[in-house]
Every structure is written in structure tokens, then in C-alpha cells.
Amino acid sequence: VRIALYQPDIAQNVGTVLRLAACWDIAVDIIEPCGFPFNDRKMRRAGMDYLDDVDLVRHSSWQAFLDYHEGRRLVLLTTKAAGNYCEFAYEEADILLLGRESAGVPDAVHDRADARLVSPMKEGMRSINMAMSAGVVLAEGLRQLGVLSAFNR
């Protein structure tokens, strides 16, 4: 499983996702443009030295990302989904795609996804922080695939 961030605009969130990715040995795709200079101090502060351990691929556009990962299943995490992330069967080659903090993803990206999952929330709540959403759903996917238990502690 990989994580892909669609045009993220908060540097600290990206740093947080990259740190988690380093700890769980997950590759990350960043679909540009980002809303901040990529080597931003706030991103480095959140990601710390873990950033050196991440398998990171930056894509200049949505189309470049699609071309790079042709054939892989795209699983969009979105508040607009009907599918509960706990009831989904994850596969090793899945890409978990997260939207921009300010605006999610455009309709064309939403429609292109092969699956759309929500992390359910209490009535009236709008959304979960992007990095938290990534962690919650990634944990379930890795649990199903036996990746976390393989770390052995």
C-alpha cells in the first residue's frame, strides 16, 4: 500500500504523513503543486530526520501521477464516500489517495478513483485532519495485510 497526497497545502500535515510512512515503511506520492515550498521548515519540523527514510515520489501533475502508476487501484479517502474504510478489502498494490486540506479533490479525480472510502464521523462533523485520516485508514489496510504484525513489536 502507498499513500498519495493530492496537492497538499499544509506543510506540517505532509511532514506528519512522511514520518508515519518512514515508520511503517510506506512509499508516498506527492501530486504537485503543493501549497508551500517543498522543503518548507514546517514540513521538516513535523517530519524531522524521518524524512530521510521515506521512499518519496513527486509528480508534476495529476496526469503524470496516473501515468506513473498505470494499472494500480486508486482508493480515494473522502468525506463524500459511502464505503466505510473498515469494510473494505485492501490489496498490496493499492494507493490510498488523500485530498487537499482546503478543498479535497476535484470531481474528475473523485470520479477516476476505483474506490471511495469514508472514515465515519459523528453527525455534524465536517472532516478529519488529512494526516490523521491517512493514519487511520492506512493502519486498517496494513492490519488486514499483516504488515504491522510483521514488525513484531
Ligand X SMILES: C[S@@+](CC[C@H](N)C(=O)[O-])C[C@H]1O[C@@H](n2cnc3c(N)ncnc32)[C@H](O)[C@@H]1O
Contact residues for ligand X (CB under 6 A)? 77-79, 98-99, 101, 103-104, 118-119, 121, 127-128, 130, 133
Which residues, 6 or more positions from 52, have their beta carbon under 8 angstroms from its beta carbon? none
What span, in angstroms and rounded, lies between the C-alpha atoms of 93 and 102? Answer: 28
Instruction: Name which of 53 and 72 has its Cβ closer to ligand X.
Output: 72
In this structure, are residues 138 and 20 in contact, taking their beta carbons and an 8 Å threshold? yes
Instruction: Name which of 115 and 128 has its Cβ closer to ligand X.
Output: 128
- For the bound state, the minimum distance from the C-beta of residue 3 to ligand X, rounded and expressed in Å, comes to 10
Task: Count Cβ atoms below 10 Å from residue 27 Cβ, excluding itself.
Answer: 14
Instruction: Name which of 15 and 104 has its Cβ closer to ligand X.
Output: 104
Which residues, 6 or more positions from 110, have their beta carbon under 8 angstroms from its beta carbon? 76, 78, 80, 104, 116
8-state DSSP, 104: B
- For the bound state, the minimum distance from the C-beta of residue 49 to ligand X, rounded and expressed in Å, comes to 26
Instruction: Name which of 105 and 149 has its Cβ closer to ligand X.
Output: 105
- For the bound state, the minimum distance from the C-beta of residue 78 to ligand X, rounded and expressed in Å, comes to 5
- For the bound state, the minimum distance from the C-beta of residue 9 to ligand X, rounded and expressed in Å, comes to 10
Residues paired with 84 in a beta bridge: 118
